[in-house]
Amino acid sequence: MPNQKIKAVLFDLGDTLLNFGKINKYRIFQQGARLSYDFLQSCGQPVGNFKFYYWRNLVPLRIRHWLSNITGKDFDALALLKKTGTKKGIKLTEQQWQHLAWLWYEPLSKIGRAEPKTKETLTVLKESGLKLGIVSNTFVHSSSLDKHLQQLSILDFFPVRLYSYQFDFRKPDARIFSAAAERIGEMLENIMFVGDRINKDIKTAAKIGMKAVLKAAYTNAGEKTPKGAWKINHLSELPALIEKINAENSH
């Protein structure tokens, strides 16, 4: 029997590593629109009327989001911003474009929090020799997500970060899990995947041979934990769970 001990842990981002909860998407979008609009104005860019600016950005985003649900492929929000803005004569440096993308995301970043003891838990996992990574379905650009993780002082724990817009597929497609395993350098059976979505995270991870752990969240409230998976209420439970699983697989 091959060694089944856990050598790496991959985390989903939203409502697993960071708690966002139920959000008012339109309020968040409006706040992001205002912040980005004010920034562009301060740079002397041709943004025109705020109302038109709002809709000029919302409509393409809604269309691309709709298309991604059909194709199973996420889009790059920063690339979309550039395309929409450049058509209207907006000219920015790459650093300014990334800052603009951050301003759209910033209201959401103020909602997304790490639960207490997250940094301590990640420290324990890292110091025990485990490799850590992130696999997230998202169209938000890596520069914004990495900045958010940096603000929470947990970015450095995750040298491996896979965001679905960088691929032609997303969870629950097994290929993104396999890509993450290859990137982190461990066999599937030696990887634990922690996520909050039963259909997108847990079922595929378990099916391809990873140790699947369901993190309690509003997204899975009232649902049964799939057979063969574990369930935790808090990330701080992970070190003890991993120790238990590894002990069971040591003989």
pLDDT digits (tens, 9 = 90+) for 10-23: 999 999 999 999 99
Please indicate, yes or no, whether residues 125 and 164 belong to a single structural domain of this protein. yes
pLDDT in tens, 35-83: 999 999 999 999 999 999 999 999 999 999 999 999 999 999 999 999 9
Residues 135 and 232 in one domain: yes
- Mean pLDDT calculated for residue range 79-101: 95
- Shared domain check, 118 and 32: no
How high is the pLDDT of residue 248? Answer: 85
Question: How much is the pLDDT for 1?
Answer: 42
For 67, the domain range is 25-109
At 192, which helix (H) or strand (E)? strand 191-195
* Both tokens assigned to 205: 């991870």
Domain final residue, candidates 79, 109, 139: 109
Buried/exposed code over 218-238 (b: 16+ C-beta within 10 A; e: otherwise) = ebbeeeeebeebbbeeebeeb
pLDDT tier at 2, thresholds 50, 70, 90: low
Whether residues 13 and 55 share a domain: the answer is no
In a shared domain, residues 140 and 242: yes
Q: What residue has token string 């040591």?
A: 250
The count of structural domains within the chain is 2
| pLDDT at 97 > cutoff 70 | yes
**Amino acid at residue number 87:** K
The pLDDT score that the predictor gives to residue 249 is 78
The sheet with strand 131-136 has its strands ordered as: 160-163, 131-136, 8-11, 191-195, 211-215, 230-232
What would the DSSP string read from start to end of 157-189? Answer: G-SEEEEGGGSS--TTSHHHHHHHHHHHT--GG
Sign of the torsion angle spanned by Cα atoms 37, 42, 48, 49: positive
Would the pLDDT of 3 be above 90?
A: no
- pLDDT tens profile 158-193: 999 999 999 999 999 999 999 999 999 999 999 999
pLDDT of 251 higher than 90: no
Q: Which two tokens stand for residue 114?
A: 């790490």
